[in-house]
A and B are shown apart, each in its own frame.
Chain A
Amino acid sequence: MGFALVLIILVVGSVLFHFLSPWTMTPLASNWGSIDITLAITLIITGVVFIAINFFIAYAVIKFRHQPDRKADYQPENKKLEWWLTLGTSLGIIAMLAPGLIVYADFVNVPEEAYELEIVGQQWSWGFRFPGEDGRFGKSDIRHIAVDNPFGINPLDEAGQDDRLISSNQILLPVDRPVKMLMRSKDVLHDFYIPHFRVKMDMVPGHVSQMWLTPTRTGDFEILCAEFCGVGHFNMRGYLKVVEQQEFDSWLANQTTFSQSLDKEKSLPLSVQAKEGQQLAQSKGCLACHGFTDSQVGPGWQNLYGATRTMADGEQVKVDDSYLSQSILQPSARVVQGYAPIMPKLELSELEVQSIIAYIRERGTDKPAQQGGGKTGQDLAQGKGCLACHSIDGTPGVGPTWQGLYGKEVQLASGETVQADREYLKESIFQPNARVVAGFQPVMPPMPVSEAEAGAIIDYIQSLPKPEGERHE
Chain B
Amino acid sequence: MNEHDQHQPGSFFTRYIWSQDHKVIAIQYSITAIFVGLIALGLSALMRLQLGFPGTFDFIDASSYYQYVTMHGMIMVIYLLTALFLGGFGNYLIPLMVGARDMVFPYVNMLSYWVYLLAVIVLLASFFVPGGPTGAGWTLYPPQAILQGTPGADWGIVLMLISLAIFIVAATMGGLNYVTTVLQARARGMTMMRMPLTVWGIFMATILALLAFPALFVSAIMMLFDKLAGTSFFMPAILSMGQPLDHEGGSPILFQHLFWFFGHPEVYIVALPAFGIVSDLISTHARKNIFGYRMMVWAIVIIGVLSFVVWAHHMYVSGMNPYFGYFFATTTLIIAVPTAIKVYNWVLTLWRGNIHLTLPMLFALAFVATFTVGGLTGLFLGNVVVDLPLSDTYFVVAHFHMVMGVSPILVIFGGIYHWYPKITGRMLNERLGQWHFWGTFLGTYAIYFPMHYLGVLGVPRRYYAFENYDFIPESAQALNVFITVAAILVALIQLLFIFNLVWSLFRGREAGSNPWQATTLEWQTETTPPGHGNWGRELPVCYRWAYDYSVPGYEQDFLPQNMPGTHSAGEPAGVRV
- Do chains A and B stick together as partners? yes
Residues in chain A within 8 A of chain B (CB atoms): 2-3, 6-7, 10, 14, 17, 21-26, 32, 35, 38-39, 42-43, 45-46, 49-50, 53-54, 56-57, 60-61, 64-67, 70-78, 81-82, 85-86, 89-90, 93, 96-97, 100-101, 103-104, 107-108, 122-123, 141-143, 145, 183, 185-189, 191, 193, 195-196, 198-207, 209, 222, 224-235, 279-280, 282-284, 340-342, 344
Residues in chain B within 8 A of chain A (CB atoms): 62-63, 66, 135-137, 141, 143-144, 147, 149-151, 236-244, 249-253, 286-289, 291-295, 317-319, 322-323, 325-326, 329-330, 333-334, 336-337, 340-341, 343-345, 347-348, 350-357, 362, 365, 368-369, 372-373, 376-377, 379-380, 383-386, 388-393, 442, 445, 449-450, 453-454, 456-458, 460, 462-471, 473, 475-476, 479, 547, 549-552, 557, 568, 570-572, 575
- Nearest A residue (CB) for B339: A89
Contacts of A54 in B (CB 8 A): 369, 372
- Nearest B residue (CB) for A100: B383
Pick from B289, B319, B386, B575: contact of A204, CB below 8 A.
Answer: B319
B386 and A35 within 8 A (CB): yes
Contacts of A71 in B (CB 8 A): 287, 354, 550, 557
Bound: A81/B135 CA distance, A: 50
Q: How far is the CB of B380 from chain A (nearest CB, A)?
A: 5
Pick from B149, B355, B384: contact of A64, CB below 8 A.
Answer: B355
A72 and B244 within 8 A (CB): no
Bound: A224/B365 CA distance, A: 40
Contacts of A101 in B (CB 8 A): 326, 329-330, 384-385
- Nearest B residue (CB) for A66: B356
- Nearest A residue (CB) for B441: A6
- Nearest B residue (CB) for A89: B340
Rank and list the top 10 A-B pairs by shortest CB-CB distance, nearest first. Answer: A283-B242, A206-B236, A195-B458, A209-B319, A230-B149, A188-B144, A234-B463, A46-B376, A73-B352, A60-B350
B368 and A73 within 8 A (CB): no
Contacts of A209 in B (CB 8 A): 319
A53 and B462 within 8 A (CB): no
10 contacts between A and B (CB under 8 A): A23-B479, A46-B380, A74-B289, A82-B341, A104-B385, A187-B238, A187-B241, A199-B388, A222-B469, A341-B467
- Nearest A residue (CB) for B380: A42
Given contacts A17-B450, A191-B392, 15 further A-B contacts (CB under 8 A): A42-B383, A54-B369, A60-B355, A66-B287, A71-B550, A74-B568, A76-B575, A97-B330, A101-B385, A187-B147, A189-B143, A207-B253, A224-B460, A231-B464, A234-B62
A6-B442, A76-B572, A202-B318 known; A70+B354 contact, CB < 8 A: yes
Bound: A309/B317 CA distance, A: 43
Interface class of chain A by DSSP:
mixed
B351 and A82 within 8 A (CB): no
A209-B319, A341-B468 known; A142+B238 contact, CB < 8 A: yes
B471 and A183 within 8 A (CB): no
Pick from A64, A77, A97, A280: contact of B292, CB below 8 A.
Answer: A77
Contacts of B288 in A (CB 8 A): 72-74
B244 and A200 within 8 A (CB): no
Contacts of B453 in A (CB 8 A): 17, 21, 23-24
Q: How far is the CB of B250 from chain A (nearest CB, A)?
A: 7
Contacts of A86 in B (CB 8 A): 337, 341
Bound: A284/B373 CA distance, A: 43
- Nearest A residue (CB) for B340: A89
Bound: A122/B293 CA distance, A: 54
Q: How far is the CB of B392 from chain A (nearest CB, A)?
A: 4
Q: How far is the CB of A203 from chain B (nearest CB, A)?
A: 7
Bound: A420/B570 CA distance, A: 114
Q: How far is the CB of B443 from chain A (nearest CB, A)?
A: 12
B369 and A103 within 8 A (CB): no
Q: How far is the CB of A58 from chain B (nearest CB, A)?
A: 9
